[in-house]
Amino acid sequence: MAIDPNFDQNRERVGEEDGVAVWGPVEPPEKLGIHGTHVAVDYDICLADGACLENCPVDVFTWVDTPDHPVSELKVEPTNEDQCIDCMLCVDICPVDAIDVDASRQA
């Protein structure tokens, strides 16, 4: 199941981690929600293969630890989402469609 492209309308913003918006529900360690706004990563389906981090031309992503999450114990955080150039490479390369980039949503 891919990230909900309308998460900002369908989910509640429940806080912030490292300056990045978090959209619920969040019930660690199993449910970690969606992180980011303009560049959003669904932590519940991200398998942390690193393709987005390695291929992003402007270094939007950083690694974060997510201990005991059933899918992976690392996730990519859109820490520098304000640097995104909307090239959509991360969206295209993600094998589980865990990333959404929407220019109309601002961080």
* CATH code for residues 7-101: 3.30.70.20
Mean pLDDT for the chain overall: 96
Establish whether 35 is an annotated binding residue: yes
pLDDT digits (tens, 9 = 90+) for 17-46: 989 999 999 999 999 999 999 999 999 999
Instruction: Decide if 38 contacts 101 (C-beta within 8 A).
Output: yes
DSSP 13-75: EEEEETTEEEES--BTTTB--EE-SSEEEETTT-----HHHHH-TT---EEEE-TT-SS-SEE
> Which residues share a beta bridge with 17?
20
Establish whether 91 is an annotated binding residue: no
pLDDT digits (tens, 9 = 90+) for 33-82: 999 999 999 999 999 999 999 999 999 999 999 999 999 999 999 999 99
Establish whether 58 is an annotated binding residue: no
Establish whether 94 is an annotated binding residue: yes
Any idea where the domains of the chain sit in the sequence? 7-101
Best CA proximity match to 92, nearest among 84, 104, 100: 100
